[in-house]
Structure 1
């Protein structure tokens, strides 16, 4: 069903692109500025999951996507994965949130409605681009949503991994071991790639060491106080 939706989006985007520009070489810099302003919204919008949990100074959508894209550099060189495509997928996958915001299951919006809003948003965003760029962004958006390619699945793992890594960073920053355990529980068993599973194992190891050290230091402080 969603493949048909994406095909319709592509057709509509092409129609919008052709109708808004008299020639294929015409450049509307005004639209480009609007596009970049929309992208800039991601620098201001806080990630909903952290906001709902009253996290102090929570990360933005841009911060999340940026680290995901940088993760492409640590993909093993011997892998057949297209690292450049992974970088692009990471930069595009949440771009619709620049208009609709970061919709989570806690927002009371159905998955179908969420997809519809995001599809309409990405179409609006792409209408500001030239034909080739519009098609590329839509193709990347579709690829990530369909989760049928190795690159899309790896980037999805990056998405989940960045979330639990961020949770661990907040635990360390706030000196609150296991405070965000729910994120680790909710992602358990959802990682599909061996590479990211190894990253998760290492993160869990460091998180356990942090908890042990925190507990040990707290015990010593209590003994000293008594």
Structure 2
């Protein structure tokens, strides 16, 4: 009996080894099948989700984006009225000015180690309400009165906020409040760069019309600028 057992054992071992190989093969086959099925399921699910997004997007995100652009693009057509009385021909737009302030903010903010994202946001929206109000000269503001100008500005800002994604509105409202109250160092820098950029532009126009016409703008910019480095920059262009 023991001899027969030893004779059968190699056969049994071979059978068991073969069965194990078959088990491994079937397991791998089923795993591969599951993977293929999972991939197909995921692809079908993503395809359906994408089609749903496409159906919903035009009525929500794209429309909101376009409406916001419609307002913001008005700044490209709104010329800075202060230049119209001093310079002949085409003058810079509010969008031109905002872009220049943003670039100055990027340059000066990085040099100082300030929050660049905040500076760029503040600079790009600092005159955004003029897309609705229009650009106002000091004379326009005097006629409307401080209360009237602030009321119109707040109304314009509320209207613009409604064009932004709901989750972004609180942060942008905070930016507008910061611009008005100059709580942060970034807001104070943008406020002064707004005046400095005006003086830089006045210097460029002054080469065409004569610097004498721009003296009051240099004085106004200097009065509004407290930062010693920016004041030196203003003093340099006034001398030139």
TM-score interval w.r.t. the shorter chain?
Answer: 0.7 to 0.9
Aligned residue runs from structure 1 range 1-226, under 5 A:
27-75=60-108, 77=110, 79-107=112-140, 108-172=143-207, 174=208, 176-205=210-239, 207=240
Per-residue CA deviations over 1:142-177 (Å, capped at 9, x if unaligned) read 1111112211111011110111111110011x1523
Taking the aligned partners of 1:100 and 1:65, their CA distance within structure 2 comes to 16
Does the residue aligned with 2:76 lie in a helix, a strand or coil?
coil
Q: What displacement does 1:125 show?
A: 1.1
Per-residue CA deviations over 1:14-39 (Å, capped at 9, x if unaligned) read xxxxxxxxxxxx94421221110110
Can you give the 5+ residue segments of structure 1 that lack an aligned partner in the other structure? Answer: 1-25, 208-226
Q: What displacement does 1:112 show?
A: 1.4
Bigger relative CO (Cα 8 Å, ≥ 6 apart): 1
Maintained 8 Å contact 2:72/2:128: yes
Q: What is the number of residues matched between the two proteins?
A: 180
For normalisation by structure 1, the TM-score amounts to 0.73
Taking the aligned partners of 2:126 and 2:222, their CA distance within structure 1 comes to 22
Structure with the greater alpha carbon radius of gyration:
2
Maintained 8 Å contact 2:218/2:234: no
Can you give the 5+ residue segments of structure 2 that lack an aligned partner in the other structure? Answer: 1-58
Q: 1:77 to 1:101 in 2, by over 3 A?
A: closer
**CA RMSD in angstroms, aligned pairs only:** 1.9
Identify which range, 33-42 or 68-77, moves more after superposition: 68-77
For normalisation by structure 2, the TM-score amounts to 0.69
Q: Which runs of structure 1 show a deviation greater than 6 angstroms over 4 or more consecutive aligned residues?
A: none
Taking the aligned partners of 2:61 and 2:232, their CA distance within structure 1 comes to 46
Higher share of residues assigned helix: 2
Maintained 8 Å contact 2:98/2:123: yes
Per-residue CA deviations over 1:47-68 (Å, capped at 9, x if unaligned) read 1211233542111000000000
Does the residue aligned with 2:213 lie in a helix, a strand or coil?
coil
